[in-house]
Structure 1
Amino acid sequence: MKAFKFQPLLKQTLWGGDRIIPFKHLDAKMDNVGESWEISGVKDNETIVVGDGRSLNQLVNDMKEKLVGKANYERFGTEFPLLIKFIDARQDLSIQVHPTDEIAHRQGKSRGKTEMWFVMDSAPEAKLYNGLKMQITPEQYKEMVANDTICDALAQYPVKEGDCFFIPAGRIHAIGAGCFLAEIQQTSDVTYRIYDFKRKDKDGNYRQLHTQEASESIDYTVLPDYRTRYEARKNEGELLVECPYFNTAVYDLDEPMTIDYSELDSFVILIGMKGEGTLTVDGENMPFREGETVLVPATANEVRSEGTIKFLETYVLS
């Protein structure tokens, strides 16, 4: 069964830059493109299969467990469980947090959001926030938001290509100016904006903050380090994240490699980070290069990669 590519949904934002369109080799004229939604089943933001016309959710409805795997279909039904993005931040994004599934349900939302970032070739001065560096209480959190000092409580990291950060639901975080990265997340668009640097939108208004909802969602645990540590190696997969919502590895290949998925009960998403090559999915070839994202159905037994290509591999184990 063949693999699928999708038409990206390009999102113009206040903080967006100019890197996504050339990175994806698109013939488009748009300014301030902050995000490219690569694979999305979010309502009213569903990506469409290239050369097919079906939305991702229609594809799941038609193929069911043949696309997502038996256990995933039992767990998620016709809703695809992951949302894949490229993000280009010309300016700092807001300080934000996402709720867990349990808290989201209490707040009337369908689910929470756990996610991860993999940094691509970013600006030399690029930084991001991830996690608390000091112990604070919910009351102190509200005070620090009100007096513009909340950033003083956050761990900040300078970033470079290859850096990886896991952001479980409840962890305060923000992408900083100059960051260019791939994001893998639960299919959810629930974001609570904590602080927005007193910026105004195009109409001169401050963007809405969600101070109360965020205070209910924040995990106030302090850890010594929030960066994902791994050893980058050529021509073999390196596990980055293993959690209930997705497993993700990185491959940096300059020689042919066949990946065996015959025992895996899940779809697989391959996200092109750098270079180009050819994927062969159960005997059918397709070109694959940086800026492209490919959905491999659960029925595929193996994928062979040829060329010089770096990509992320992600799937869901139920």
Structure 2
Amino acid sequence: MTTSVAPFRLKPWFSERVWGRQDLRPWYSETGTKELVGEAWLTGPQCIIETGEFSGREFASVAAQIGGEFPLLVKLLFPNEKLSVQVHPDDAQAAAMGEVRGKTECWYVLEAEPGAYVSLGLKDGVDAAKFRAAVADGTAEDLLRQVPVSVGDMLFVDAGTVHAIGPGSVLLETQQTSDVTYRLYDYGRPRELHLEKGLAVMKAQTAAGKVSPKKIDGFVRLIEQKYFSVDRFDRFDASTAGNIQVAFDGPGCLVGLSGTSVVKTSGGEVELTTGRAVVVPKGTGSVAVAAGAGAAFVRCMAPA
């Protein structure tokens, strides 16, 4: 399938969270709210299109023109406090519960203070009964595997993995387009828990964990899984800056991490800046990117 829709840029949609921050600089100079912001949704259905023929419309409203619902929800996460201990169902579990799809995701660490960590998976021997008891007595955190994180780490969060995120990092999250989250434990904060649903879908063992990067001609593959691949393009200097071809086998987006680049196709040019996503619709094939010195960006892509 081909599309006549040229790549276009989205305006981030900021999600208020009790564990978030007021100041998201240097990623964003302002968020439009004085509340704590935990997530910047870069490809959310409610994001506003900033460029091209659909400028001013919500992203979800152009699904028919770009080959269907965009399969990847890409976000920046800004945890200032611990996130809840939670779990997401896989596709089969989600369907059994009346949901459209499950939620498999990954985290790429963009910033990390000393001591930053995530919790990823259950310790050996932990089952639903033990976890239920730990939630009741406030010790659920003790049953999770704590993983220290540093800038450049990629972590796979397989559906069914009990997980949490500690404070002191900025993460780029790439996931299936789904917001099905079952909150198991929340440190006494007055938010709804979904303990029974969460215990029903959590798995003792999953494929979650750190993923080693692979150098490929012209970029670094950070992760490749069933629902997505994420690749980093950078190290452009005065001698290497210029047009590079970035291929897309399926629908995806480019996310600016630093500097400024320009995405070029026969349909026009779109500037790619820090903290913004440029959507590349299904069937585009490849785009030329004029990368300035110091620029870095990632390609988040779904299978064809």
TM-score, normalised to structure 2, is 0.87
Matching residue within 56, 61, 65 for 2:64: 61
Query: Is structure 2 residue 248 aligned with structure 1 residue 302?
Result: no
Look up the match of 2:227: 245
Displacement, 1:265? 4.0
Q: Conserved in 2, the CA contact under 8 Å of 1:234 and 1:252?
A: no
Please say which of residues 178-187 and 21-30 is displaced more in the overlay. 21-30
Alpha-carbon deviations, 1:21-61, whole Å to 9, x = none?
541344745341111111112xxxx2121141222222221
Please name the residue that 1:286 is paired with: 270
Residue 220 (structure 1) shift: 0.5
Q: What's the secondary structure of 1:299's corresponding residue?
A: coil
- Counterparts of 2:69 and 2:261 in 1: how far apart (Å)? 31
Q: Structure 1 residue 192: deviation in Å?
A: 0.4
| CA shift for structure 1 position 209 | 1.3
Partner residue of 1:229?
212
SS at match of 1:14: strand
Q: Is the counterpart of residue 167 in structure 1 residue 152 in structure 2?
A: no
1:69-122 deviation line (CA, Å, top 9, x unaligned): xxxxxxxxx322111111101110001000011111111222110011111123
Aligned residue number for residue 3 of structure 1: 7
Q: Deviations over 1:264-301 (max 9, x none)?
A: 44223111122333333347333222211111223243
Kept after mapping to 2: 8 A contact 1:234/1:251? no
> Who is 1:71 aligned against?
none
Q: Check conservation: 2:87, 2:159, Cα contact below 8 A.
A: yes
Partner of 2:50: 50
CA distance, structure 2, for counterparts of residue 10 and residue 105 of structure 1: 28
Matches of 2:23 and 2:278, distance apart in 1: 20
1: CA distance, partners of 2:228 / 2:286: 19
Q: Please give the residue correspondences for 1:141-152 in structure 2 after superposition, counting only pairs within 5 Å.
A: 141-152=131-142
CA contact (8 A) 1:40 1:47 kept: yes
Which residue of structure 2 lines up, in the alignment, with residue 207 of structure 1? 191
Q: 1:4 deviation in Å? A: 0.8
Confirm or deny: 8 A CA contact 1:21 1:28 kept in the other structure. no
Written as runs of structure 1 = structure 2, the 5 A alignment for 1:30-49 is 30-41=34-45, 46-49=46-49
Q: Which runs of 5+ in 1 are unaligned?
A: 65-77, 200-205
Contact (CA 8 Å) 2:261, 2:289: kept in 1 or not? no
Task: Please give the per-residue CA displacement for 1:153-177, whole angstroms capped at 9, x wherever unaligned.
Answer: 2111222211111111101111111
Larger mean CA deviation between 277-286 and 292-301 belongs to: 277-286
Does structure 1 residue 311 correspond to structure 2 residue 297? yes
Question: Aligned pair in 2 of structure 1 residues 108, 161: CA closer, same or farther (>3 Å)?
Answer: same
Q: 2:252 aligns with which of 268, 271, 293?
A: 268
Report the Cα distance in structure 1 between the residues aligned to 2:296 and 2:217, rounded to whole angstroms: 10
- Cα deviation for residue 62 of structure 1 reads 2.4
Give the equivalent residue in structure 2 for 1:129: 119
Over 3 Å counting, the alpha-carbon distance change for 1:222 and 1:306 in structure 2 is closer
Structure 2: where are the runs of 5+ without partners?
Answer: none
Instruction: Give the 3-state SS of the residue equivalent to 1:209 in structure 2.
Output: coil
> Following the alignment from structure 2 to structure 1, what is the Cα–Cα distance between the partners of residues 100 and 216?
40
SS of the equivalent of 1:258 reads strand
Which secondary structure state, in structure 2, belongs to the residue aligned with residue 20 of structure 1?
A: coil
Q: Report % sequence identity.
A: 31
Distance change (3 Å), C-alpha of 1:291 and 1:229: same
Q: Which residue of 2 aligns with 1:157?
A: 147
What's the RMSD between the two structures over aligned residues? Answer: 2.3
What is the SS of the residue equivalent to 2:211? coil
Cα separation, 2, equivalents of 1:250 and 1:194: 33
SS at 1:295 equivalent? strand
User: For the structure 1 residues 265 and 249, does the alpha-carbon distance in structure 2 shift closer, same or farther, using more than 3 Å as the test?
Assistant: closer
SS at match of 1:128: strand
Q: Single out whichever of 53-62 and 96-105 deviates more from structure 2.
A: 53-62
Tell me the number of residue pairs that the alignment of Structure 1 and Structure 2 aligns. 291
Contact 1:282 1:300 in 2 (8 A): no
CA 1:314/1:47 → structure 2, altered by over 3 Å: closer, same or farther? same
User: Partner amino acid for 1:50?
Assistant: E
Q: Which string of whole-angstrom CA distances, capped at 9 and with x for unpartnered residues, describes residues 236-281 of structure 1?
A: 31222222211111222312352242xx442231111223333333
Measure the CA separation in 2 of the matches of 1:279 and 1:62. Answer: 20
CA contact (8 A) 1:241 1:248 kept: yes
